[in-house]
């Protein structure tokens, strides 16, 4: 059996547009006894499973019942753990990026005390659109291709024109990924993607509501620009990753960013680093944003000729590791709040 599909019957199907659930095999884990799934990653390849059903998730963290929680009986045992869990925000930040959600569906088990709380919890999970990758983009010099809509290819330039999730793999030795999807949320799931661009940004976000770079588990990715920047519009592109709109980087893979003559990562709005192993080497600023730079996780190593991390307005660091090995000024912002992390 290669894969099987589960379809909701008409009597159980909710209103709205729903998709059938497709699994590559019928082996799904039992919620609760399999934890969050990451606990078993060292014991086998989780991608061989049909699906991973995580333990119960609540809106806020729950400590569970006080000990003892287990009692032996003549015919077995009774347990009352009390739905102990880390809460949905911690799950999204610390657990989900470590699961192979691209290869294997991850199914949430929700716990709430009211319909409104269920709706809020489901809404938070639904906002994580990078959980499902719908289109695969394969990069190749002069022969890039996509297996779905929302992508155009012209020579060595690949342009994302619609909102959605895109898995990006392959290599461009002199090319560019452009995102031009006004008012749309775009997720680029990098899975062994390498892009070098001469005279411009390797990743150029022209217009979007928000762009998420998701670094897939175990993947090593690189985005680099070389040579002097040649402008093709009025946006003054001057970084290996240049975004006119909000940019978020997360995941459990690795990303190397380099710019021989400009900045490493630039967002003209907000730049958020949630997780991932990120290395930036830049002639000018390592990372920069206009409105906000927010670091809530991940491991950053930055070597720059000017500022390591710069923001015109606010810089906040609460978790993660920031290692600036070379810079003229390490951290610079109008307001700065450092509440945690290893700097």
User: For the residues of 213-230, what is the DSSP string, one character each?
Assistant: EEE-TT-EEEEEEES---
pLDDT band at 104 (very low <50, low <70, confident <90, very high): confident
Q: Which of 73-82, 97-106, 290-299, 301-310 bottoms out in mean pLDDT, i.e. has the lowest?
A: 97-106
213 within 8 A of 188, measured Cβ to Cβ: yes
d(CA 185, CA 214): 13
pLDDT tens profile 31-87:
888 888 888 888 888 888 888 999 888 888 889 889 988 899 999 888 888 888 888
CB-based contacts of 109: which residues, under 8 Å, 6+ apart? 31, 32, 53, 54, 55, 56, 57
Q: Which residues is 208 bridged to in the sheet?
A: 181
Mean pLDDT, the chain, integer: 87
pLDDT tens profile 252-273:
789 999 999 999 999 999 999 9
pLDDT band at 13 (very low <50, low <70, confident <90, very high): very low
Q: What percent of the chain has pLDDT over 90?
A: 51
Cα of 289 vs its chain's centroid, Å:
19
Instruction: Number of helices (H) and strands (E) in the chain: give both, helices first.
Output: 2, 24
The residue among 46 and 333 whose pLDDT is bigger is 333
| pTM exceeds 0.85, yes or no | no
Q: Which of 62-71, 97-106, 139-148, 333-342 bottoms out in mean pLDDT, i.e. has the lowest?
A: 97-106
d(CA 169, CA 126): 25
Determine the pLDDT at residue 131: 47
pLDDT tens profile 187-214:
998 989 999 999 999 999 999 999 999 8
Determine the pLDDT at residue 17: 47
Instruction: Indicate if the pLDDT at residue 12 is higher than 50.
Output: no
Class of residue 102 by CB neighbours under 10 A (exposed 0-12, middle 13-18, buried 19+)? buried
Determine the pLDDT at residue 9: 47
pLDDT band at 124 (very low <50, low <70, confident <90, very high): confident
Class of residue 250 by CB neighbours under 10 A (exposed 0-12, middle 13-18, buried 19+)? buried
251 within 8 A of 220, measured Cβ to Cβ: no
pLDDT band at 2 (very low <50, low <70, confident <90, very high): low
Mean pLDDT value across residues 6-27: 60
């Amino acid at each position: 059996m290669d894969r099987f599909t589960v379809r909701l019957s008409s009597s159980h199907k909710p209103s709205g547009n729903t998709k059938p659930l497709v699994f590559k095999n019928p082996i799904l884990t039992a919620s609760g006894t399999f934890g969050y799934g990451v606990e078993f990653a060292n014991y086998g390849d989780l991608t061989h499973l049909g699906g991973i059903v995580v333990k119960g998730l609540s809106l806020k963290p729950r400590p569970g019942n006080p000990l003892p929680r287990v009692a032996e009986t003549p015919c077995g045992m009774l347990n009352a753990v009390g739905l102990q869990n880390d809460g949905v925000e911690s799950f999204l930040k610390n657990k989900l990026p470590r699961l192979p959600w691209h290869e294997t569906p991850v199914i949430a088990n929700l716990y709430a005390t009211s319909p409104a709380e269920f709706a809020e919890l489901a809404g938070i999970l639904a906002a994580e659109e990078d959980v499902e990758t719908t289109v695969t983009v394969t990069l190749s010099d002069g022969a890039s291709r996509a297996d779905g809509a929302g992508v155009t290819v012209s020579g060595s330039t690949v342009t994302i024109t619609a909102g959605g999730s895109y898995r990006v793999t392959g290599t461009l030795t002199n090319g560019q990924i452009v995102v031009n999807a006004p008012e749309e949320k775009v997720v680029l799931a990098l899975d062994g993607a390498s892009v070098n661009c001469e005279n411009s940004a390797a990743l150029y976000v022209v217009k979007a509501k928000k762009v998420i770079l998701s670094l897939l588990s175990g993947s090593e990715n690189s985005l680099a620009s070389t040579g002097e920047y040649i402008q093709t519009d009025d946006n003054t592109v001057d970084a290996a990753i240049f975004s006119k709109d909000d940019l978020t980087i997360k995941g459990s893979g690795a990303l190397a960013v380099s710019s021989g003559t400009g900045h490493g990562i630039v967002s003209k709005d907000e730049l958020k680093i949630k997780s991932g192993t990120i290395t930036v080497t830049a002639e000018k600023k390592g990372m920069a944003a206009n409105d906000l730079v927010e670091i809530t996780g991940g491991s950053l190593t930055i070597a720059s000729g000017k500022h390591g991390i710069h923001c015109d307005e606010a810089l906040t660091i609460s978790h993660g590791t920031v290692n600036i090995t070379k810079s003229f000024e390490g951290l610079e912002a109008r307001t700065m709040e450092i509440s945690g992390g290893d700097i």
